[in-house]
Structure 1
């Protein structure tokens, strides 16, 4: 097993102290390591000019906006926190946010897409994703005990930014989940891996989406996040307002929102005609 350098160990400790998620920690360490390998030198021996040259290299390779800014976040953290060079982070520029409209499916397209997903587990997981507007990682890590049928809510633990929140539990989704539970008898994880040793990997849901697109021959690039965008759009089109906000993004900032309000909020999933028994 390769020995971790003192510098990398210090960065990992800095990330841990600040309670950043394991995913964020891995990402930051990965990007700093790539930066170091590009120049063939320890990153503490590199400065602003090297950072600038590396950013230009990434832009030249047409690296995605998300990857560019993950790199910026990692390098700003490394120089500002781990090396304590307060002069440098502010000089490392973020890439400009691209203004792109998300792909949104109509209600009929959502039905057709979900019915094209192969496998009971994957289909129900993606139904759940749309029904409550989840991210892929949030859907993958759902536990059976997160489903609260008495209050008609679902608890989402450690979502984006390490935050917990509650979302509505659609009556139609609840019936589907009950049938799914009787058919598959999952243990701790609602959507377990095939070997039962943990939750399904988020990428598995992405693969299921691509397979459904190929089966349908659709031109739209439908991803797990497309279902989340579609949920938000359909919720707002229905005129649903939580805490007086019409913006779903603003509403989700309020961790203290009443679970009673959330439980009474209708999911757009209930407007779809979906089969209660999910086919295999």
Structure 2
């Protein structure tokens, strides 16, 4: 009965903006079987406003849907799938004077001249622009440390901005002082708040295997496997070119990583058949992971989307991101007895202090430590056993 329903069902696919994100929306006449497949197998959610089921839009979300439901289902692809949706929440209209805009533009030019990364320039621009807007009526030459304190109290704290964001703000302002020395900001007295000592989330080795096992799509499994097995950042995976994967030497050359550094990492022997199967099936041309358009990089949103579905399918309760796989890689290396100096090099860390955090997460030494409760219980059991043996020995004589 359900099979007949499935064969005659027609699904219409749309691209919509929902909850400030671009989503793939699926609508169809009520069908219990399809509803269950979308909800329980693929992690779709119901939208009351759009009257349909949705999931985060990605290049291959449609492909996954078609493969899961089978070719017997009719699909209608709406024209919205071919258009890009402008997310209104991303752009912020600030009220800044023309004079201040000129200073901000020159500051951005200064940062680019210092060869800061695109990501850093964008982050610093956002903080400085917000700061200028907050002090819009005040000349830049009058900016002071007290203005920074008030900005943090009135803007950062109410928005519940993180400690790391506040540290980035102070870094942006210190550079602004170097660029614009006429202001009254005293860079030497600007202090960054202490870093939060939050330990990274780490998956167990068993959870990693489960995650890969429950990732059914070949391309998705290959991406997750190479991120974990080589400890790659998501940006490094997206920029990874096929020419930088050496199967013979079992090495991956990571080019222009964080801090504009190159490094070589180990290509795990166990995933080589998986990678070769993926490459022969999908036949990417330039990048290891390519989108629907030829020679174009895959998107980070796509990876986060299918990773979320795989985590749910594997019944993993932890919050998992692509960077969690990198944390897990480093922790498992440490637990396997690899020296911290080698782990630092494999991860591409500039400072050994960054790598040291994994010593707090590793179970290798922690498992050797006995809880006082275990010791107490064991002592009581041993004492009781000894008394019973003494009593039994005495009774025999």
Matched, 1:27 2:123: yes
Aligned residues: 251
Distance 1:116 1:251, change over 3 A: closer
Distance 1:169 1:178, change over 3 A: same
Secondary structure of the residue aligned to 1:101 is coil
CA apart distance, 1:125 = 1.4
Corresponding residue for residue 336 of structure 2: 238
* Cα deviation code 1:184-231 (max 9, x no counterpart): 011111111222352122233222222223334432111111111110
Verify the 8 A CA contact 1:10 1:82 in the aligned structure 2. Answer: no
Distance 1:66 1:200, change over 3 A: farther
Instruction: Say which is worse superposed, 132-141 or 216-225, in terms of deviation.
Output: 216-225
TM-score after normalising by structure 2? 0.57
Structure 1 residues 29-178: aligned runs within 5 Å: 29-41=125-137, 44-45=140-141, 46-56=143-153, 57-83=155-181, 88-117=186-215, 119-178=217-276
Between Structure 1 and Structure 2, which shows a larger proportion of strand residues?
A: 2
* Cα deviation code 1:79-137 (max 9, x no counterpart): 22344669622322212111122221111100111233364333211111100111111
Verify the 8 A CA contact 2:232 2:347 in the aligned structure 1. Answer: no
Corresponding residue for residue 182 of structure 1: 280
CA apart distance, 1:38 = 3.0
Cα distance in 1 for partners of 2:171, 2:314 equals 39
Structure 2: runs of 5 or more not aligned: 1-92, 351-397
Distance 1:251 1:133, change over 3 A: closer
Secondary structure of the residue aligned to 2:264 is strand
Q: Highest CA radius of gyration, 1 or 2?
A: 2
* Cα deviation code 1:133-182 (max 9, x no counterpart): 11111111111111022322111112111211111111122222211110
Verify the 8 A CA contact 2:231 2:347 in the aligned structure 1. Answer: no
RMSD of aligned Cα (Å): 2.8
Verify the 8 A CA contact 2:254 2:264 in the aligned structure 1. Answer: yes
CA apart distance, 1:250 = 6.4
For CA contacts below 8 A with separation 6 or more, give which structure has more relative contact order: 1
TM-score after normalising by structure 1? 0.79
Structure 1 residues 217-256: aligned runs within 5 Å: 217-241=315-339, 245=340, 248-249=343-344
* Cα deviation code 1:34-66 (max 9, x no counterpart): 222233357825322121112223134321222
Cα distance in 2 for partners of 1:206, 1:114 equals 14
Secondary structure of the residue aligned to 1:230 is helix
Distance 1:67 1:254, change over 3 A: closer
Structure 1: runs of 5 or more not aligned: 256-280
Cα distance in 1 for partners of 2:299, 2:164 equals 21
Runs of 4+, deviation exceeding 4 Å: 82-87, 250-255
Cα distance in 1 for partners of 2:294, 2:189 equals 47
